[in-house]
A and B are shown apart, each in its own frame.
Chain A
């Protein structure tokens, strides 16, 4: 962890330390809002907004925060941005805000955000924290998109509200209900571990 290139800060969030598939953080919103692609996308963007701005703020004022009360400070900073995101969605996209329900305010307890502040932004410069936050957000959005695409296509036969499966297709209602979320994510995590294992084996054989 000495001098790694700055690009590494960005790229690691996409796959190697992907918040959902690797670190298993922020599972609650992941499972709850991925019943339709549009919800997953909105949630991903809202979380990205909060994560990026709180990372910038925490990284810039880290010297001013006393160590004992740092968690409380982080939470207040995060909560401020979450309130902004919540109000923004409610004002400009009321239908999305309605379908996301309490999960937008709940970004405040999303462990990804607090985790990044504690483990990265509080120790690194503003620029690197920004890269880290961008990478993590992108990884989070990608994971949400994969999950919600699978669930919406199989569960409703649509993608972003457009019918894409033929009329012969009977939607698997279970996929947009809670059990579908758990099972799909479980299988996706297994697949990502399998790919990782394959890559590692290849590396060893070389």
Chain B
């Protein structure tokens, strides 16, 4: 039950994009087309889940036992950068079609603050191993949900008559604000 609560909370209530404001750059940059938004979302979900596993191991098996937690920032960022490279090489070898689909989005993920944010938040909330994995998966799915919804709305926005200065980033942010407003409605679901 606890796990389900973490999962639902990560997707809907504490949505990474709309509540923590993490991963705004890809959220605005890659949400112009529905299918590229989907690929980006899947790539992020994939990397997030693996990051949750690896960062938990590093934090609990290396950093905390040896009292090195002040190295958290440096070690997490290096691990994430290396991990993204590894995942990229791995996917290219194992499944070329998937590589084609995720393509350029994988390297972009390194600088995506949501991945680093996930590692830090999971460490901050003191999750155990299973909880951290569920949190990673849920957060990734939450990101995917947000970016897909956004892409769907933006495809329609292309046809709308928007005042000149609002076009592009301006209207995208306002739409995101209204979406965040909608997601606030979920906050009563779990205490």
Question: Which positions in A face B, CB cutoff 8 Å?
Answer: 24-25, 27-29, 31-32, 71-72, 75-76, 79-80, 82-83, 86-87, 101-102, 105-106, 108-111, 114, 174, 177-183, 185-187, 189-191, 193-194, 197
Q: Are B73's CB and A105's CB within 8 A?
A: yes
Residue interface mask B157-191, A partner, CB < 8 A = 1: 00000011110011111101110110010000000
**Beyond A27-B21, A83-B73, 4 additional pairs, beta carbon < 8 A:** A71-B81, A72-B81, A186-B170, A187-B170
Q: Are B116's CB and A181's CB within 8 A?
A: no
B23-31, B51-59, B92-100, B137-145: which lies at the interface: B23-31
What's the nearest-Cβ distance from chain B to residue A121, in Å?
17
Residues in A whose Cβ lies below 8 Å from that of B1: none
Q: Are A186's CB and B169's CB within 8 A?
A: yes
Give 8 nearest A-B pairs by CB, closest first: A182-B177, A186-B173, A183-B177, A190-B170, A186-B174, A27-B24, A193-B165, A194-B165
Among B18, B28, B166, B170: residue with most chain A CB under 10 A: B170
Q: Are A109's CB and B171's CB within 8 A?
A: no
Question: Which positions in B face A, CB cutoff 8 Å?
Answer: 18-25, 28, 70-74, 77-78, 81, 111-113, 116-117, 120-121, 124, 163-166, 169-174, 176-178, 180-181, 184
What's the nearest-Cβ distance from chain B to residue A142, in Å?
18
Rounded to whole angstroms, the CA-CA distance of A96 and B68 in the bound complex is 23
Chosen A-B contacts, 26 in total, with CB atoms closer than 8 Å, are: A24-B28, A27-B24, A32-B21, A79-B73, A79-B78, A83-B73, A86-B73, A102-B124, A105-B120, A106-B120, A108-B116, A109-B77, A111-B25, A177-B180, A178-B18, A178-B19, A178-B180, A179-B178, A182-B173, A182-B174, A183-B177, A183-B178, A186-B174, A187-B170, A189-B173, A197-B165
Rounded to whole angstroms, the CA-CA distance of A29 and B22 in the bound complex is 8
Residues in A whose Cβ lies below 8 Å from that of B21: 27-29, 31-32, 178, 181
Q: Per a CB cutoff under 8 Å, which of A29, A79, A109, A180 touches B177?
A: A180
Q: Are B78's CB and A75's CB within 8 A?
A: yes
Q: Are B180's CB and A102's CB within 8 A?
A: no
What's the nearest-Cβ distance from chain A to residue B24, in Å?
4
Give the nearest-CB partner of A191 in chain B.
B165
Q: Are B170's CB and A189's CB within 8 A?
A: yes
Q: Are A72's CB and B169's CB within 8 A?
A: no
Residues in B whose Cβ lies below 8 Å from that of A29: 21
Q: Are B177's CB and A110's CB within 8 A?
A: no
Q: Are B171's CB and A186's CB within 8 A?
A: yes
Rounded to whole angstroms, the CA-CA distance of A111 and B108 in the bound complex is 11
Q: A174-B181, A179-B181, A186-B171 are in contact. Are A83 and B70 (CB under 8 A)?
A: yes
Q: Are B113's CB and A183's CB within 8 A?
A: no
Q: Are B113's CB and A185's CB within 8 A?
A: no
What's the nearest-Cβ distance from chain A to residue B113, in Å?
4
Give the nearest-CB partner of A31 in chain B.
B21
Q: Are A105's CB and B72's CB within 8 A?
A: yes
Residues in A whose Cβ lies below 8 Å from that of B165: 190-191, 193-194, 197
Q: Are A109's CB and B111's CB within 8 A?
A: yes
